[in-house]
Chains A and B, each alone.
Chain A
Amino acid sequence: MNMIEALTAARPGSGKTRAAAPARRRLLDQDWRRLACAGAVLAVGQVFIALTGMPVTFDRRLLIDPILSLGYLALLWLPPVVGNWVGREQVLEGMAAYAKGGRDVVAGAMAGLLGNLGLTLLVLGITHFDVRDPLVHWSPQLLGILEFDQSVWLGALVWPAIGAATGALGGAMHWMGDKTARTMVLALSTVFAAAVLESVIVDLSQGFHIEAVSDWLYGPQRGLTLAATAVIVAVAVAASAGFSWARAASGRTAPQASAQPDAAGAGSLPAQTAWRRIPARKLLGWAFAPAAIIVLPLFLGRLTNELLANVGLFILLALGLNIIVGLAGILDLGYVAFFAVGGYSVAVLTSPGSPRFDPEIPWFGALFAAMLLAGLAGLLIGAPVIRMRGDYLAVVTLGFGEIIRILLLSDWLSGTFNGAQGITNIPGVEVFGLATVRGFEPRSVLYLVLFFCAIAIYVSWRLENSRIGRAWMAVREDESVAEAMGVDTVSAKIMAFVTGAVLGSFSGAILSAKVGSVFPHSFAIIVSIVILVVVIFGGMGNIAGVVAGAVVLIGVLGGPNQPGLLQEFAEYKILIYGALLVWMMLQRPEGLIPSARRARELQANDVNQDAWLRAQPAGRATDDAGGTSDRGRP
């Protein structure tokens, strides 16, 4: 027993060796500099949001029927976030942590108050000055929103109060304890999700003929009703409580359960047998999910099917880019080129409106040609850039992306691609006489997209766990070492380009048939960027992450030319994409769903280690226990 243990054990009243309760701080014992800083940042942020025009544009969209519109939400979310940040205390090693308490709440409130004083100034500014010339949104409409259509003084006074209240809430999150805070976040996000998903839910309830549910949930002018909001909050709170109870219950039994199989098969190692221990529940889920995905579109309306088809197109693109960027680690900023090759190949070959190639061939034939051409484009773009590294490569691919668009637009090739007029009249897809996929039947498009998504997921999954997949990962990790370890890096990288190109061309081919026309401007550089953001946001190198990224970003915000659930965002899509990307890079560079494999390994470490040690014969186990630390072995 060392000194400290001896001392603490000797102290009367503390049987266990536990640190003394952390000290409590007085309410006004604040880090004033940090507070002022947070207040200033918040003020700038709020005024910026106001002046981008978001509150005015979004005000049309009600979230909760009479009381909250998306416009007001745009001005409400930042204070609690900043309040939360101010209330968070950085505890460095060796520093004593203080108890969470009223002080954090006060900090949050003050930051919120200070920040929203920015809005007060804005209200006063708009009433007294006119700088509409540079600032288009410095407008009476904005003023109307900021003063709640009442009086200037009301607006000027209420905003700081709102800031203080919401900031205090943010600060209080630390104090409440994890469980309460989580419940609160869950409740708020469920309400938000329910409001955002309105059109999908309405659509679904029509599909299932339970309109009563959606009529009750949503008011006549869109937006959740108050009663529905209250019920959703109650359900979320109950679910959260139930969930943590269930987790506590399973936590008590889990260690035994997981140790059992390992202990039984003494020599066999946990990793080898892992697949055998997949619970039946999970297998059922795997069978159920595809079934649900196949059946669900039947119950969805046009709008939702259309939305999902767009999401699917981007899932395809993102999966393709994921092979290039996520697996092989090649930063390709011109991925849209392959999308364009797919789209235009199908357009030229199938449309009677295309100037050249008169015998029009069916879509599947054209798809085959598109794959070949895209693969060829992958080779052509891949070959010259393959010897380059990092930044140079990114810049060159960026150039290639633009070159393709400019070629499509050029007079020189207008005999084939029709220049800026694009190619129209692209027919739908005849699926072997069984069905026809046409743009005005979004459900059929969705099925086609789902089919190709399934292919893309299968391809990504199989290749990732194969010789070429390992070679890609090695190239991503350290190219010169990979080469020194016998990996043919040149062909691995070209293979990544070709595979990614083919997957991207699927998406383009479907887009052509879906929209019925293609134009060079559909393949602008922003498409490359959006796909890249989807991949990064979702989680590079991880299939589930990439799919989730596409669902969240394209589904909610919308693609570069496609509307999402929040159609009001259209104007601000790129701004929000940028902000999200910055936030993601700072806070969660591994993405929304980081490579599950890695996460599992890291978490399962301790469990596995213990189980494995227990399974070993006594002598060997202790030998390894010494070896695990690799230091101080006798």
Chain B
Amino acid sequence: MSARPMLEIAGLHVEFGGLHALNKLDFTVEEGEIVAVIGPNGAGKTTFFNVISGMVEPTGGTLAFEGQSLLGLDPNKITARGIARTFQNVRLFNNMTVLENVMVSQHCRTRQRVFDALLQTRRFRTEEALVRDRGKEVLGFFGTRLTGYRFDQPASVLSYANRRRLEIARAMATDPKLILLDEPVAGMNPVESAELTQLIGKLRDEMGYTIVLIEHDMSVVRNISDRVVVLDHGEAIARGTYAEVSANPQVIEAYLGQTTDRN
């Protein structure tokens, strides 16, 4: 591993018509870390992910992954570099089957051309088999929940928790180095959420992914994150371990301030 961090972000700035969604944000992720990004609603967390994955163009700042700039790359090129993500409001390919969902996300790792498919070349057949097996393998990570008869069900019939799992599986299938999870346990019950927390740990320990996750559920954040970064109004107001951050008066104020705003 090189001495430079895996993901290096400096002075990142995003503006939506006068609204500073992200404001001079510095952020680094080392390989093999689990970093949690927390902050009140509207703090800019999802926007932060959108910028990394190339879906939103930043107005300023630099963004480098493994030492190479990501600025100006299309989202699919960024995925090809090794960054995959999930979405806060689950966005599966609903009319495609569970297996197809994880097959299509291997697009940037496969090479077959149209003529291979038309002529059914050996390259086509071996690659299809590989893609299929890899898809099944990834789905198997979640036990039997997404396997068996589920392979051929459309994603739309899955339960909510299973959809969230499939989103993670779909991200895994892109064969990434860094996975961005946007509120992975949102809407799950405590049992499911504890189980998924464990799985996220396994994603790093067994699969070797580096993980950045956004989460509102503090028990999840406490249990798995090595580091926590707190965003408020697009700025990082605190960093450190969970214990450090949760004792930080600014953080408490940000959360409390928001609570009083709401009431």
Contacts and interface: CB of A to CB of B under 8 A. Distances in A.
Nearest to B79: A486
Interface stretch (B2-10, B26-34, B111-119): B111-119
B185 to A, nearest CB: 13
A215 interface: no
B241 interface: no
B95 interface: yes
B161 A602 contact: no
Instruction: Enumerate the 10 nearest inter-chain pairs by beta-carbon distance, A residue then B residue, closest first.
Output: A486-B108, A466-B117, A486-B79, A608-B149, A477-B93, A630-B159, A470-B104, A485-B105, A271-B152, A483-B75
Contacts of A458: 118
B144 A473 contact: no
Contact of B159 (A473, A490, A631): A631
A608 B105 CA distance: 26
Nearest to A606: B149
A488 B107 contact: yes
B82 to A, nearest CB: 10
Contacts of A465: 117
21 contacts: A462-B118, A463-B117, A466-B114, A466-B116, A471-B104, A473-B95, A477-B94, A477-B95, A485-B79, A485-B174, A486-B80, A486-B107, A598-B95, A602-B157, A605-B157, A609-B149, A624-B148, A628-B159, A630-B145, A630-B159, A631-B189
A477 B107 contact: no
Interface string B220-237: 000000000000000000
Contacts of A480: 55, 75
Interface string A291-331: 00000000000000000000000000000000000000000
Given A484-B79, A598-B154, A467 B100 contact: no
Contacts of A468: 114, 117
Contacts of A611: 149
Nearest to A629: B159
Interface in B34-53: 53
Given A463-B118, A481-B87, A598-B95, A627 B76 contact: no
Say what secondary structure dominates the interface of chain A: helix
B205 interface: no
Contacts of B171: 485
Interface string B83-107: 0110100010111110010011111
A483 B147 CA distance: 26
A355 to B, nearest CB: 36
Contact of B93 (A463, A473, A609): A473
Interface string A474-494: 100110111111111110000
B149 A270 contact: yes
B103 A470 contact: yes
Contacts of B94: 477
A466 B157 contact: no
Interface of A: 269-271, 458-459, 462-463, 465-471, 473-474, 477-478, 480-490, 495, 499, 598, 601-602, 605, 608-609, 611-612, 620, 623-624, 627-631, 633-634
B128 interface: yes
A487 B114 contact: no
Contact of B124 (A466, A471, A483, A627): A466
Given A463-B114, A495-B114, A598-B95, A486 B105 contact: yes
B162 interface: yes
Interface in B147-199: 147-149, 151-154, 157, 159-162, 170-171, 174, 189, 191-192
Contacts of A627: 143-145
B137 interface: no
Contacts, number: 142
B76 A487 contact: yes
B69 interface: no
A542 B91 CA distance: 24
A477 B93 CA distance: 6
Contact of B75 (A466, A478, A484, A612): A484
Nearest to B110: A467
B74 interface: yes
Given A458-B118, A484-B85, A487-B107, 5 more contacts: A467-B107, A474-B107, A598-B154, A608-B149, A627-B145
A499 to B, nearest CB: 8
A76 B53 CA distance: 61
Contacts of B96: 470, 473-474, 477
Nearest to A472: B104
Contact of A486 (B95, B114, B174): B174
B120 interface: yes
Which of B79, B85, B93, B112 counts the most chain A CB atoms within 10 A? B93
A462 B120 contact: yes
A489 B75 CA distance: 10
Contacts of B145: 624, 627, 630
Nearest to A610: B149
Which of B80, B171, B191 counts the most chain A CB atoms within 10 A? B191
A271 B108 contact: no
Contact of A483 (B76, B131, B159, B162): B76
Nearest to A485: B105
Contacts of A608: 149, 152
Contacts of B107: 467, 470-471, 474, 485-488
A380 B181 CA distance: 39
Given A487-B107, A623-B144, A627-B143, A271 B151 contact: yes
Nearest to B143: A627
Which of B91, B104, B153, B160 counts the most chain A CB atoms within 10 A? B104
Contacts of A482: 93, 104
Nearest to A487: B107
Contacts of B114: 463, 466, 468, 495, 499
Contacts of B152: 271, 601, 608
Nearest to B74: A483
A409 B175 CA distance: 53
A486 B76 contact: yes
B110 to A, nearest CB: 6
Given A463-B118, A601-B154, A269 B159 contact: no
A612 B148 contact: yes
Contacts of B170: 485
